[in-house]
Amino acid sequence: MNEIKGDLKRKIVILTLTENCNLDCIYCFEKAKTKKLMNIDVAKKAIAFEFQNSEGFDEIEIDLFGGEPTLCIDTIQEIIEWTNAQCFQKPYLFFLDTNGTLVHGKFQDWLCRNKEFVWAGLSLDGTPETHNKNRSNSYNKIDIDFFLRTYPKQPVRMTIYNDTLKNLSNDIIHLHNLGFAEVVATFAYGIDWELNDLNLYLKNELQILCDFYLANPQIKECSIFNLHLPNILSKDKKVTKWCGTGTSMVSYGIDGTKYPCQTFQQNTTLNKKAITLDEIDFNSIADFSDTECTNCMIEPICPNCYGMNYVKEGNILKRDKQLCEIVKIRALAISYLKAKQIQINIEKMKPNEAYQTIKAINIIQNNLTTLKEKCYE
């Protein structure tokens, strides 16, 4: 297999191996768990089809998804060994999105032997206290060192839940201290976020994290701090697509039905109709704006999940407005951190990068420090 390069155009193929899970995480967006499994022939057919129809892509990433995919270890091993035997011409890599609780013993040995073909990414929510509260008391069931040792460049995935918000900085610092190369921390979708909690706790927690990163510049900031502030200067531009759903990404349900991504599948959409890949042409949508956000100054940096929009609002373009304050507080925290970092590093920055970042900091600090309004016109 050729080495996969990060700067090539990649097709993402998601295989839902099972809708079952051995945990019951408090925020899980897959509300409808079933015992259904993907048949091995469905998986092989999907993989062969994607390799044969991958014009325009340099490489293929096949995500083994669930539920918890490691409930199907035999299927995982057969899929990967079968794929390796096919001699497909495009570079590929399997990715296992796992809660880690079933990754032990012989399966660890097998993963180590097949590290060239499959990477595993771990979900871990921070300190044992937070993780156990969010994720079914599973902290001690995970061999964290195995993931650190076997996949040293792989970030850890953390989901932030409202009830553990007060411990956010401790949780993220705990993951840094464990030695993960990067912490991808995302706020749970589809739950109730209270404005008062966000103003009371999130701002304080992000302030603590800003101070932590300023004191430890060798540590890569967690993904909460990765919004690209200068984008707010380009407000006149149309809003383009946020992710690869339905274009460079396809998700196969357990019966082989194709969806734009996993959030459009029935186990997520619940009482709303699932949307298959051929029911939405994402390439034909020229503007991904939410009309209610047109006057919001941070719309250009506001993350968007079309699947969760559909689940919550019944419209792929209509954002969940409960997330607005989170993005505003994130933008404020980033502006604070960047303001401090620029003073130290301005000589190392490109002139346009420094100029645009300072302008964006001014706008954000002048408009978002009170956070009283829902939208900023």
Partner 1 sequence: MNNLRVSELDLALLNKNLYQLENDFETEELELVDLYGDIVGCTGDCKGGCTGKCGHNCGGHCTSILAY
Binding mask 261-290 for partner 1 (x = CB under 8 A): xxx---------------------------
CA distances from residue 98 to 4, 6, 23, 64, 69 in whole angstroms, order as listed: 21, 22, 11, 9, 7
Q: Which is nearer to partner 1, 139 or 264 (CB)?
A: 264
CA–CA separation, 15 and 170 (whole Å): 34
Enter the DSSP assignment of 139: G
Asked if 356 is part of the footprint of partner 1 (rule: CB under 8 A), the reply reads yes
Site for partner 1 in 16-55 (CB under 8 A): 29
**How far apart, in whole angstroms, are the C-alpha atoms of residue 122 and residue 148?**
10
What distance in Å separates the CA atoms of residue 144 and residue 123, rounded to the nearest whole number? 10
Stretch of residues binding partner 1 (CB under 8 A), selected from 102-110, 125-133, 162-170, 328-336: 328-336
Q: Which is nearer to partner 1, 40 or 349 (CB)?
A: 349
Contact with partner 1 (CB under 8 A): which of 99, 138, 245, 266?
245
* Phi, then psi, of 145 in degrees rounded to 5: -60, -35
Burial 68-78 (b: 16+ CB within 10 A, else e): bbbbbbebbee
- Smallest gap from Cβ 305 to partner 1, in A, equals 5
Per-residue CA distances from 39 to 21, 72, 252 (Å): 17, 11, 12
Answer for which of 68, 125, 182, 290 binds partner 1 (CB under 8 A) is 182
With CB under 8 A, what is the number of residues at the site for partner 1?
A: 89
| Beta carbon of residue 312, minimum distance to partner 1 (angstroms, whole number) | 12
Q: Are 263 and 308 in contact (CB under 8 A)?
A: yes
Cβ closest to partner 1, residue 75 vs residue 263: 263
| Site membership for partner 1, residue 128 (CB under 8 A) | no
Q: How far is the CB of 310 from partner 1 (least distance, A)?
A: 10
- From residue 138 to residue 177, the character string flagging contacts with partner 1 as x (rule: CB under 8 A) and all else as - is ---------------xxxxx--------------------
Q: Which range of residues in 43-51, 132-140, 171-179, 361-369 is near partner 1 by CB under 8 A? A: 361-369
Please pick, from the candidates 39, 240, 295, 345, the single residue that binds partner 1 as defined by CB under 8 A.
240
Identify the bridge partners of residue 119 per DSSP, sorted by sequence position.
95
Cβ(229)–Cβ(235) below 8 Å: no
Q: State yes or no: residue 308 binds partner 1 (CB under 8 A).
A: yes
Is residue 67 involved in binding partner 1 (CB under 8 A)? Answer: no
Rounded to whole angstroms, how far apart are CA atoms 248 and 10?
Answer: 7
Amino acid at 19: E
